[in-house]
Structure 1
Amino acid sequence: MNKTFEEIFAEMLAEKASKAELSELNSTSKVSIWRLLLQVVSFVIYNFQLAANLHLQEIRDLIASQKVFNLRRYRNEALRFQYGFDLQPETDKFKSTYEDNGVDVIATDEQIEASKIVKYAACNRVIENSRSKIVMKIAPADLDGVFTTDQMEAFSKYIEEIAPAGDHVTIINYLPDILNFSFKIKYDPMVLKADGMNILTAKYPVQQAIENFLKNLPFNGELSVQKLETAILDVDGVIDLQTLQIQSKWIDPAQNGYGIYQPINMAVIPVSGRFKIEDFTGLQYIV
C-alpha cells in the first residue's frame, strides 16, 4: 500500500465516473464542490496510508531489535564485551566514557576497539544432570593463549549482569586442545625428500597442509579425520597415506592441566574451541 495522492485521487475519479447515479455531478471546474470533496477524501486516505506504513515500520524495528536470548545472541554478547568499561545503569549498553583522576573522559574509537578482547566465541546448550545449561567457549586474538584471571572475572560479571535470570552459563577459557597423530606417508622422491621437505621450495608441505587445515576450521568447528587425510593427500608429492593414530587431549579442571590423550575415531569438536600441534614427529615418510 504505497500509492501517491495523485493515484488515489485518480481512482476516486474513476470510481465516481462508474456510478451512473453521480452523472449529474459533471462540472469541469477544478474547484467544484464534488471534486474538492474527492480531493479531501483522497488526502485523508493518503495520510492514513503514511501513518499505517510508519506504524508497520515501527513494528518491524521492534521485532528486529527485540533481545530474546538465544545461542546466537549469547555469542554476539561475548564478542561485544569491553574490558575496562562498565555498563550504563539499568541497560546492557557499555559506557562510552571512563574515569581518569575523577574526570570523565570520552573513549576514543581505538580504545573501544582495543577493549573488545574476546575475538572468538561459540555457544552450545547442553543437558547435564537433567539440567540445561549454556556452554560458552571464548578465546583471545592469540589462539594459543587464554584470558587472565582479572579479565575472566570482569567477563563473568558482565555475562551475569546481562543474562536472563535462571540461565546457567558455563564459560570455557582453556588452552587449546593438543592434537597428536601418526601418519605413514608414501612420497614421491622426485618431489619430496625423505624428511618431507619439498626439493624446490625447501619447505615442509605436509606440515603446512595440516596447519592450514586447522587454521581454516571455524572456532569450535568439528575436526573430521577423513577431511584431514584428504588435505594431506592433496599435497604435491604425496602418493598415499595410512593413518596409524590420531588423538587429542584437553584441559581437565579436575587435574589442573591437560588430561590423557583420547582417540579420535571419526570426528571431534575441541573442548577449548581450537586445536594446537606440539610437534610433527608423528609423520613417517616411506618410498
Structure 2
Amino acid sequence: MDKTFEEILAELQAEKEKKAELNGLDSTSKTSIWLGLFKVIAYVFFNFMQAANLHLQEIRDLIANQKVFNLRRYRSEALRFQYGFDLINESDQFKPTYEDNGIDVIATDEEIENSKIIKYAACNRVIDGGRAKIVMKIAPAILDDIFPAQVMAAVAKYIEEISPAGDHVTIINYLPDILKFAFKIKYDPMVLQADGMNIITAKYPVQEAIETFLKNLPFNGELSVQRLETAILAVDGVEDLQTLQIQSKWIDPAQNGYGFYQPVNMSVLPASGRFKIEDFTGLQYVA
C-alpha cells in the first residue's frame, strides 16, 4: 500500500482505456470533467492508503511496546531509569516530582533528562544451572566508567520493582573488556613512517582506524576479527596485514578484577558490553 497519487491516477486511466464505450473521453485539457473526476477518485484512494499505513504503523508500535516483558522491554526499561526519582505507588511510572526540604517540586525537562544516567544497555537470556535468567549489561555516557555502588543499589531496586515475579535478572556493571592484539603491517614508506605516523598529517591512522572501528560497534556488539582486519587494510599507506594474535580479558568477579587474557579466534562478545585498548605496542610496521 505504497502507491503514489500519480500511480493511482495512471491505473484509473489504464482501466478507462480498456473500456471501448469510454473512448470518447479523450480530452487532455486541465478542465476536462472526466479527468477531474479521476483525479478526485485517485486523491480519495491515495488518502485512504496513507491513513491505512499510519494505522498499521500505530498497531506495530503498540505491539512492539506492549506491556510484555521481553528482552527489548528490559532494555527500554533500563534506559528509562531515573536516578533520584521514585516510582508512583502501584505503578511502573516515575513521579514527575522530587522532594526538597519536605516540599514536592515539579521536575524540569532538563532535570528529568539528566536523571536518565544509563545511556547504554543490552539484554540477553542465558541458561545458568538449568535456570533461565536475564543478563542486563549497562554503562554510563563515558564508556570507560562504571556506576558507583549507590547507583547500582537504586538500579537493582528499580528493576526488582518493575520486573515480573519469577524473573531472575543479573545486572552487569563492569569496566570495559580490554583488547590486546599483535599485527604485522606492511606499510608504504611514501605515505607512512616506520612507526605508523602519516608523513603529512603527523597522525597515526592505523590506531585511529582501530579506535573508530571499536567506537562504531553497537553496545554489546560482536567484534569480528575479519572486519577489524578489513578496517586496518583500508587505511591509506597500509599495503598488507598479518594478524599475529588477538586476545581479550574481562572482569571476573571470582578474581575481584580482570581475569587472564583469552584468545579471540574469529569473534567475541564483550562481557561488559564494550572494549577498551590500553596500548598499541602490538602494532609492528615493516616496509
Residue 109 of structure 1: how far off its partner (Å): 0.6
Question: What is the CA deviation profile of residues 144-164 of structure 1, one whole-angstrom value per residue up to 9, with x for unaligned ones?
Answer: 000010000000000000000
d(CA) in 2 for partners of 1:149, 1:100 = 24
Deviations 1:237-268 (A, max 9, x none): 00000000000000000111000000000000
2:171 alignment counterpart: 171
Return the alpha-carbon distance in structure 2 between the equivalents of residues 244 and 185 of structure 1.
Answer: 10
1:28 aligned residue:
none
Give the letter aligned to residue 259 of structure 1. G
Distance 2:283 2:80 in 1: 41
Describe how 1:54-93 pairs up with structure 2 within 5 A: 66-93=66-93
Structure of larger gyration radius: 1
Residue identity opposite 1:156 in structure 2: A
- Give 1:1-287 correspondences, 5 Å limit: 66-287=66-287
Q: Which amino acid aligns with 1:153?
A: A
On the 8 A contact 2:99/2:105 being kept in 1, the answer is: yes
Task: Tell me the matched-pair count.
Answer: 231
Give a deviation string over 1:68-92, Cα, whole Å, max 9, x none.
Answer: 0000000000000000000000000
Taking structure 1 as the reference length, the TM-score comes to 0.78
CA contact (8 A) 2:65 2:73 kept: no
Partners in 2 of 1:161 and 1:205 — Cα distance? 48
The Cα of 1:66 is off from its aligned counterpart by 3.1
| TM-score (structure 2 length as normaliser) | 0.78
Quote how far apart the aligned CAs of 1:100 are.
0.5
Partners of 1:228 and 1:126 in 2: how far apart?
Answer: 27
SS in 2 for 1:190: coil
- Separation of aligned partners in 1, 2:118 and 2:91: 21
- Superposed CA RMSD in Å reads 1.6
Identity fraction in percent: 80
What is the distance in 2 between the residues matched to 1:65 and 1:111?
25
Query: What per-residue deviation string (whole Å, max 9, x for no partner) do you get for residues 214-233 of structure 1?
Result: 00000000000000000000
Please state how far the C-alpha of 1:64 moved relative to its aligned partner.
6.5
AA at the equivalent of 1:229: E
Q: How many Å separate the matches in 2 of 1:278 and 1:148?
A: 22
Q: Mind listing any 5+ residue stretches in structure 1 that lack a counterpart?
A: 1-55
